[in-house]
Structure 1
Amino acid sequence: LKQCERYHPRCCQYKVHGYPTRLLQIEMSGTQTSIRLFTVESASFSGNYAALSHRWGPPSSVFSTTKSKLARFQNSIPVSQLPKTFLDAIEITKALGLAYLWIDSLCIIQDSRVDWETESAKMDKVYLNAAVTIAASSSGDTQGGCFLDLVQPASRLPDCPLNKRGWVFQEMVLSSRILHFTQDQVYWQCRETMISNRFTFAPNMIPDGDLPLLWWSWAVDYSSRVFTKPEDRLYAYAGITKFYERLSGSSTIVLGLLRERLPTDLHWSCRGDKPRLRITTTNLPSWTW
């Protein structure tokens, strides 16, 4: 992490102004760990934070912040009640020397539509500005944890359970640095290199040159992902849209299509034999993918 911050200019160039409204503040008293919801004042906040990328599992089983719990969690969150993935992420955050952690189910008020829409619009800032993203890549839910019993043979990182989740796509694209915890090893991924126990290579996560081709490679990947709520597809891509428009400097995205290439991009089609879904709960036009 320190080497990346010091020697990788590409890993720092995409930061933007702004923070999530809330972070988890991690404090130590002797050997005891305490956490609470910390309200971020963007004008004065200067701390680094980690962000967790994880699969929820059944939404009803996720430990979360609600309107009735908010005041209590701002004082203290009971560590003993946290699921294993959250506990492991806290330990990783502490080990990296960071005092703040962002977890979606705790830092967004889950039964407030207003708060959910406000914070989901900031997702690009959450992951672009995080010092590192902790990815519980092989866990199917919040009880799976980050530290797993190693298995052989190694599985491909794209095949991990986490990478099938729709919301995770923008987390992977926008994060400057990611620690993937999988069943066979730990991967470090940043915009300039990827390192595991077995290899090192340069992935060139945001290549120079043909940005429209990059946009459509993202669209192909994203369109194959799974959502608990299909109507979230547009929200979960909003951060990618804003990021691409900043990258290009001139492009405008119209519901998933490039405005300057609209006649060409309207020729998109579905591939494979899976059922073709149409989201009926939103007012999206028929011509967008």
Structure 2
Amino acid sequence: MLLLSTAQNLTLTAEDIKHLQYDEVHGIGSHTSSEATLGLARTWLNRCRRKHSSCKPLSSKEEFLPARLIDTEPRQRSEWRLRITAKHKDEPATYMTLSHRWGTVPFLNLTTKNIRELEAGHPLSALEKTFREAVEIVRRLGERFLWIDSLCIVQDSLRDWQEQSAAMRDIYTHSVCNIAATGAADSHGGCYFERNVSDILPCTIPKNSQGSPSIDFAVVSMDLWTDDIERAPLNQRGWVLQERLLAPRTLHFAAQQIFWECNEMNACEMYPKELPSTYFLEDRQPSIRCHHPLFSANAGKPDENFGRQTSSAQDPYMFWGRIVYAYSHCRLTRSEDKLAAASGLASQLQQMTKDNYYAGLWSKDLAGQLLWSVVGCAQADGSASRRPEPYRAPTWSWASVDGIIKTNDLPFDGSFGKPLFDVLDIRTVPLTGDVTGQISKGAYLRIKGVLTKASIVCGPGGVTRLKIGRIDSDIVFRLDTRSGESFSDLSCVPIGHYMLPPYQDRPSIQGLILHRSEVEGHSYIRLGTFRVESRAHCQELGLEFEGDESLGSYPADSAQRSITIL
């Protein structure tokens, strides 16, 4: 059998083709609630739990349990009950989690007023469709307990919300499996969907040529994973990204079929054995999971050598950049949740690297971390990027901007690049006990560097350009928001210098565009980034070079000063 695709430059190999097992998919029903579909889900789950070593839960001295769970097997199967786990310490339990899109239609939440009522028992029929079907899925997969944020976090208690949001990393990493209502727009959309079976099976076209054997052609969509998972309603939400990454395995209930995702395998009903690797090529929209060691069972065992590596597969900071990029495409109902909704991921990376975390940035890679930029001054929906109120992060943090964030991938580690500043002080104040969560107003970064006067000017035809000192050409720059074009009191500070082979004749400097704060006159706020790429420009900004292939450096008497960025 040959597999064809309408996408250009993509082919499936014989190794890929073997994953299409028609004898296994013939049992697909016209509804994703069918026994054939759930039977396949049980097969995936059982196989993963038995055989996938990197999908095993993190080892710990004490078994973790969330503060509350939903008991799907009370005395009456027509009911569910809220379980306060502190009252059942001697009863071991495993649990599943649910990822769902809240939407705008009201639904049942846990509050201080109804907690006792829900603990006593509540009719299953009174739950919204997504929650009701999630309870059924847990039962059919052989489990008993389920965690749902809206029913296990007291929604009218800020203190409880802060405590539970700080525990998200543990909640999802210790779950048996995350059930994702991937195809539903809100809690009323459900997990189960009716479908036309012929729409999800490959279209087989027989070909008979005179004098040659019969060949079957199977036409498949090469955007299957991208369309059904990456672009699905659920995965456009900010909170869901960390839920998907932290869980050891996720069972997606998409609009057409179910999908499986874990650290060792991706599969679906069309490809029950495994999705071909062709679906996850780097030049396509890749799965953000990417089987990264950060999210495997070994993540609880820090490696002293785990740091800047040559590829994103081994480099936690480059992978963090991919997370930030994906996260910046997602939406949040509450703008102030920007740091909180990524707190679990940051906590996981912090455990791995033992690095200090400051409002979305990492200390050991601070030069590279500071050089994020906003693509096209735009958000994922095409609207203009902005720094919203209320305050949620300092301007030197990507978390201060609603926009598509592209991080810097160049390591300033001394080999081909190096930092051009010294950190004097850096401060963020956590709003709660969660050091990777929300922060209070007042964060700052104080560095020692070279500050040069700059201006943004409008040239012929309305073309905007940046001028730094006497440099008025060949400067590449990106503003964080377009509102920065109206500022006149600007300065630039170099952050990193690099000389990448085979372009030693074109040394470069990247840095920040700053504007003097109108509130605190001796401080600055960030407006964007700049880059210059010539030896003459680097020298104009103060660097001296000992040889043609050596990195430049500031002379001992260079005019460096203390710079505070808010």
* TM category, shorter: over 0.9
CA displacement 1:142-197 (0-9 Å, x = unmatched): 01000012264753310100000011011011010100001121011111111112
2:359 counterpart residue number: 255
Q: Which moved more, 1:10-19 or 1:104-113?
A: 10-19
- With the length of structure 1 as denominator, give the TM-score of the two structures: 0.93
User: Partners in 2 of 1:51 and 1:84 — Cα distance?
Assistant: 16
Change (3 A) 1:283 1:222: closer
**SS of residue in 2 equivalent to 1:261:** helix
User: Partners in 2 of 1:77 and 1:218 — Cα distance?
Assistant: 39
Displacement of 1:141 = 0.4
- With the length of structure 2 as denominator, give the TM-score of the two structures: 0.48
1:212 counterpart residue number: 317
Q: State the AA in 2 paired with 1:167.
A: W
Q: State the AA in 2 paired with 1:281.
A: P
**1:142 and 2:187 correspond:** yes
Which residues of 2 match residues 163-178 of structure 1 at below 5 A? 163-178=235-250
1:188 counterpart residue number: 260
Displacement of 1:209 = 1.3
Displacement of 1:204 = 4.1
Displacement of 1:28 = 5.4
CA displacement 1:26-70 (0-9 Å, x = unmatched): 12557x332111011385352111100000111x60211111101
1:88 counterpart residue number: 133
Which consecutive unaligned segments of at least 5 residues does structure 2 have?
A: 1-44, 201-223, 278-288, 294-312, 399-566
CA displacement 1:3-44 (0-9 Å, x = unmatched): 2111111101535553211000112557x3321110113853
Which residues of 2 match residues 55-94 of structure 1 at below 5 A? 55-58=101-104, 61-94=106-139
**1:19 and 2:65 correspond:** yes
1:7 counterpart residue number: 51
User: Partners in 2 of 1:47 and 1:227 — Cα distance?
Assistant: 32
CA displacement 1:52-89 (0-9 Å, x = unmatched): 0000111x602111111011111012222100000110
Q: Which moved more, 1:130-139 or 1:60-69?
A: 60-69
Q: Which moved more, 1:44-53 or 1:186-195?
A: 44-53
Aligned-residue RMSD, C-alpha: 1.9
The match for 1:50 among 96, 112, 136 is: 96
Relative contact order (C-alpha < 8 Å, sep 6+): which is higher?
Answer: 1
**SS of residue in 1 equivalent to 2:393:** coil
Percentage of pairs with the same residue:
33
**SS of residue in 2 equivalent to 1:236:** helix
Which consecutive unaligned segments of at least 5 residues does structure 1 have?
A: none
Q: State the AA in 1 paired with 2:124.
A: V
Q: Does the CA-based 8 Å contact 1:27-1:33 persist in structure 2?
A: no
Displacement of 1:206 = 1.4
Bigger proportion of residues as helix: 1
Q: State the AA in 2 paired with 1:280.
A: E
Q: Does the CA-based 8 Å contact 2:57-2:248 persist in structure 1?
A: no
1:233 counterpart residue number: 338
